[in-house]
C-alpha cells in the first residue's frame, strides 16, 4: 500500500486520535484521554477515575462513566454486552478491554445512529451518555447512515455488507462489491470513521507491499485507499485469512474506474 513521504500523514484527516496519559489510582494503571469531544456524562474526559468505576447491567446509563479506547473493567464489559445484544460483537469479544475491535464496533454504531459528540464530531469513539442510552435501549439502525446522505456526494462503505456505495444528493448511484483488511488479520483492520478524499492515483504501485498494483486509488485516511484489486476480481469470495492490508478493495475494474472519475478531492468518505 501507499505511504506518504517521511511516513507523515497528510493534512485534512478527519479522524481524531487523542493523546493519552497514564495515572496511578489506587494502584491501578488507567488511561485518560484528552481533547476528545464527548457526548456528556457524569465524568469529564480529564477524570482518570473513569476507567476504575464499577458498573453492572442495573447501573442507569446516566450514572455510567465516559469510556475511552484503552479503558478496562466492568463498565467496558457492560458496554460490550450491549454490542453483543445488538449482534455487533461476538460473545467471545466480551473481555473487559476497550481494544481496537470494540472501538471499531462503537464507531460503526455511532455512525449509523448519528451519535455525535458535543462539537458535532462523528464518531467520537468514546462511550458517553448518548451511546450508553442507545445501547441500553437496544436502539440500532442498519440502513445508510445520515453522514452519507447529509452532503451532496459521499463514498459510503459498509463493512457488514461488503459494499461501497456512491451517494449523490441522498440517492445511491453506484454499488461496488468490496473487501477489507479485517478478514486478513486484526493488525490490518480497515478503520471506521468519517474521512475525506485526500488524493488520487490512477495507476498506483504500493511502496509497502512489493509494488502491488493499486489502480484507481482514492486515498482517504493516510495509507488507506479505495482501489481495484485484481486478486479480489479473480476470487470475489471473501474468505477468512484473505483480504487487503487495510485498504478497501473493489472487485470491478470498470466500477473502480467510474468511482475514481466521479469523486474529487474533498469528497466525504464514511466507513462503518
123: preceding bond cis by omega (within 30 degrees): yes
- pLDDT above 70: residue 68: yes
Cell numbers given for 237: 469470495
Contact 131, 110 (CB under 8 A): yes
In this predicted structure, the answer to whether residue 126 has a pLDDT above a threshold of 70 is yes
- Helix or strand (DSSP H, E) at 172: strand 171-179
pLDDT digits (tens, 9 = 90+) for 197-230: 999 999 999 988 888 999 999 999 999 999 999 9
% the chain with pLDDT above 90: 65
Are 122 and 38 within 8 A, CB to CB?
no
User: Which residues are bridge partners to 199 per DSSP?
Assistant: 219
Query: What stretches of the chain show up as alpha helix (H) in DSSP?
Result: 74-85, 100-113, 129-137, 146-149, 230-234, 253-262
Provide the phi-psi class of 176: left if phi over 0, else alpha when psi is between -120 and 50, else beta: beta
* Secondary structure letter of residue 191 according to DSSP: P
* CA pair distance 192, 89, nearest whole angstrom: 15
pLDDT at 112: 93
pLDDT at 241: 79
More confident residue, 25 or 45: 45
DSSP state of 222: T
Q: Average pLDDT over the chain, rounded to whole?
A: 83
By mean pLDDT, which of 96-105, 138-147, 197-206 is the weakest? 138-147
What topology is assigned to 144-271 in CATH?
Answer: L,D-transpeptidase catalytic domain-like (2.40.440)
pLDDT on residue 45: 43
Q: What angle do CA 263, 268, 272 make, to 5 degrees?
A: 120
pLDDT at 237 over 90: no
**Cβ count near 249 (within 10 Å):** 29
Q: State yes or no: pLDDT of 27 exceeds 60.
A: no
Cell readout for 101 is 475491535
* Residues facing 30 on adjacent strands: 23
Which residue ranges make up each domain of the chain? Answer: 20-137, 144-271
For residue 111, with 0-12 CB atoms within 10 Å meaning exposed, 13-18 middle and 19 or more buried, which class applies? buried
Neighbour-count burial of 41, counting CB atoms closer than 10 A to its CB (0-12 exposed, 13-18 middle, 19+ buried) = buried
185: cell is 488479520
Q: What's the mean pLDDT in 137-160? A: 92
Q: Which residues contact 131 (CB under 8 A, 6 or more apart)?
A: 39, 106, 109, 110, 115, 124
Separation CA 249–CA 76 (nearest Å): 32
Amino acid at each position: 500500500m501507499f505511504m506518504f513521504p517521511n511516513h507523515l500523514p497528510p493534512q485534512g484527516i478527519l479522524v481524531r486520535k487523542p493523546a493519552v496519559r497514564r495515572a496511578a489510582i489506587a494502584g491501578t494503571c488507567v488511561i485518560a484521554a484528552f481533547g476528545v469531544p464527548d457526548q456528556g456524562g457524569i465524568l469529564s474526559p480529564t477524570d482518570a477515575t473513569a476507567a476504575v468505576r464499577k458498573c453492572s447491567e442495573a447501573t442507569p446509563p446516566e450514572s455510567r462513566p465516559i469510556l475511552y479506547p484503552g479503558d478496562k473493567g466492568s463498565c467496558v464489559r457492560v458496554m460490550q454486552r450491549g454490542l453483543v445484544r445488538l449482534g455487533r460483537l461476538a460473545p467471545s469479544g466480551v473481555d473487559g478491554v476497550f481494544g481496537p475491535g470494540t472501538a471499531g464496533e462503537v464507531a460503526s454504531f455511532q455512525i449509523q445512529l448519528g451519535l455525535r459528540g458535543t462539537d458535532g464530531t462523528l464518531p467520537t469513539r468514546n462511550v458517553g451518555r448518548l451511546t450508553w442510552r442507545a445501547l441500553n435501549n437496544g436502539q440500532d439502525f442498519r440502513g445508510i447512515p445520515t453522514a452519507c446522505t447529509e452532503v451532496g456526494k459521499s463514498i459510503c462503505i459498509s463493512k457488514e455488507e461488503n459494499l461501497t456505495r456512491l451517494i449523490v444528493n441522498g440517492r445511491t448511484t453506484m454499488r461496488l462489491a468490496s473487501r477489507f483488511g479485517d478478514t486478513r488479520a486484526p493488525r490490518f483492520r480497515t478503520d471506521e470513521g468519517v474521512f475525506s478524499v485526500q488524493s488520487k492515483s490512477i495507476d498506483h504501485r504500493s511502496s509497502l507491499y512489493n509494488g502491488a498494483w493499486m489502480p484507481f486509488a482514492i486515498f482517504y485516511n493516510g495509507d488507506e485507499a479505495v482501489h481495484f484489486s485484481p486478486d479480489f476480481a479473480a476470487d470475489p469470495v471473501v474468505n477468512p485469512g484473505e483480504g487487503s492490508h487495510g485498504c478497501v478493495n473493489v472487485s470491478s475494474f470498470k466500477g473502480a474506474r467510474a468511482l475514481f472519475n466521479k469523486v474529487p478531492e474533498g469528497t466525504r468518505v464514511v466507513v462503518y
